[in-house]
Structure 1
Amino acid sequence: MIDEFFNKIKTFFDQNLVARMILDGWLTLIIVSVLVLLALKFRKALSLIIIGLIIFAFYGVAKFLNLPIAGPVYTTAMGCYILASIIILAPELRKIMEVQPKSSDQQKALVVSSTQATIEAVTEAVFNMSSLKVGALITFEQHYSLQQYAERAISLNADVSRELLEQIFIKDSPLHDGGVIIRGNKIVCAAAYYTLTQVDLDKTIGSRHRAGIGVSEITDSLTIIVSEETGDVHVANSGFMKSMNNKNELIEYLSTYLGKTTV
C-alpha cells in the first residue's frame, strides 16, 4: 500500500509539469534557506543533526521525483553540509583529541588527595586575592591528567602555600597570566593555558572564566577562578560554574570534591 501511494505521487508529478516545477522550486528554496541558517545561526551538534536529517529527507524526495533543479542542488548541499559540520565541530573534536583517558594504574597514581592544610592554604590565598581584585586561575588535577598543559607551562613542583600562590598571581608577576595546576599537595606548574569553552556565555564573562570552564568540560578537574574586575570567586567543575561567597563555603566544596585527608 505504501509503495502504491508513493508511485501515485511520482506518477502525478511526472504527468503534471507545472506541479513538478513548483515543487522543484520550493525544495530548492528550502535547501538554500537551510544552508543560510546553518552558516549564520546553528553551531551546536544537535542543531547540525536536525539540519542534516532535513537535508537528507528532502534529498530523498528530490531523487525519488527526479526533480531537475532540486536534485543536483541537494547533492551539492549534502557535500557542503558535511564540510560545514567538520569546520563547525572542529573545536569539539579538538577537545576530544586533547584528553587521553589514563589506564587504571595511572589513575590511581594521580588520585592524590589534597590535605586539609592544602585546602585551607588555597582558600586563604583565593580570598586574599579576591579582596585585592587580583585575578587567579587555580586548577586541581584529579583522574584525568593535565600533563599536556603542564608541559607547555612553567614547571614549579613546589609545596602548596598561601604565600606562593599570592606571589604567582600578583599583577606584576611574569606568571600572572594563565593558570596554576595543583596535583595533590604540589603546585605542578604556573602559566598554564587551557582551551576556552565554546559555550555561549554572557559577554561579561572573561577569558579566565572561559578557560576554567573549558578545562572542566574535557577533564574531571576542578578550577577556582578569581575575577580581576570584581573579585568574585567561582569554581568550575564538569562544565558548570558555581559562585563561592565565603571561605567556609569554598573549604567545604573543595573537601567534598577533592577527597581531602587530615594528614
Structure 2
Amino acid sequence: MSLNEAKKQLADAIATYEHLQLELSNKDNLEFYSDQEWHAHLSHLGLQTAQLINTSRTYDDNDLLSLLERKQSKLKRHSAWKKKHKKHVQQRKRQQLKKNEKWIKDIVWKVTVSPSVNAAAIATAKTTALSETQQQQTNDRKLVKTLSKKLALLTEIRALRRKKLENQGHFFADEGNAFFNKVKEWHQRNETTETPTQDEQQQQQQEKKQFAIHPEDTWHHMGIDKVAYNYWCGSDQSLETLLNTRRLWDQYILLDNNSDTNPHDHLHKVPPTFVAPAPPANAIWASYLL
C-alpha cells in the first residue's frame, strides 16, 4: 500500500466518522420518520459504520503501520535532502560568480598594471637559475679533478702491488699473457714431437687390433667397458701405452740429494703426495691450468 492511498483512506474514514457524529447528534424530525424512512436511515448509518470498522481493522496491523512510518520518514529525509541540495547548488553558484569576478579583476590587472612586474620577476628567476647552473658546473669540475687524482694514485698503487706479486710468481689474466704464451708454445712443441708417423700409426692400429680382454677379468657375466679397460689395462698389452704412462709419471719425479749412505737413494723417486710447485711455476704445472 502506498502512502497516498493510506492518506486517502484515512481522510475518508475521518469524514465518515464526522458524518456519523452529525447524524447521531441531529435528533430533529426523527419523530416524523415513517418506517421506510427509518429503515433507510438505519441502513445508511450501518453501512457507514461498517466501512469505518473495516478501515479501522485494516490499520490495526502493526506491520502495516511500521511500513507506513518508514515510508513517511523516507519522504521526510528526501524532502530535507532536496532542500539542502537546493541550498548547496545556490551556494556553489554564488561562489562561482565570485570566482569569475575575481578572475576578471586579475586579468584586468595583469593586462593594465603588471607587465613590468612580471618581466622583473622573470629576469630575476633567470639570473638565479643561471647562477645555480654555473655553481653546479664548477662543483662538478672540482669533483672530477679530485676523483681523477685519487684514481691516478690508486692505479699507481695497484701497479706496484701487481709488480710485487708477479715477482713472487703470481700472474694475471690481463697482463700475464707472456706466461700463457710460453705454455701454449710448450704444448705445440709437444704436439709436433708426439705426432706419429705413418709407420707408427700402422703399428698402433695393429696393437689396437691385438687388444684383448683377459678371460679372468669378468664379473658375474656382465659386459666390460672397453674404453675404461683399455685405459687401465692398456700398459699390459701395448708398449706405447706403457711408455706414455711412464712419461707422464716422469714429469713429476723428485731427486733426493740429501742421503749419502745409499747410492740408490740418489735415483729418481715418484712423490707419495701432490707436490706444490715453487713460484714461479714452470710450464708443465701451468699446462694443467688450461
TM-score interval w.r.t. the shorter chain? under 0.3
**Structure having the higher Rg:** 2
Higher RCO structure, 1 or 2 (CA under 8 Å, sep 6+): 1
TM-score scaled by length of structure 1: 0.21
Structure ranking higher in helix proportion: 2
Structure ranking higher in strand proportion: 1
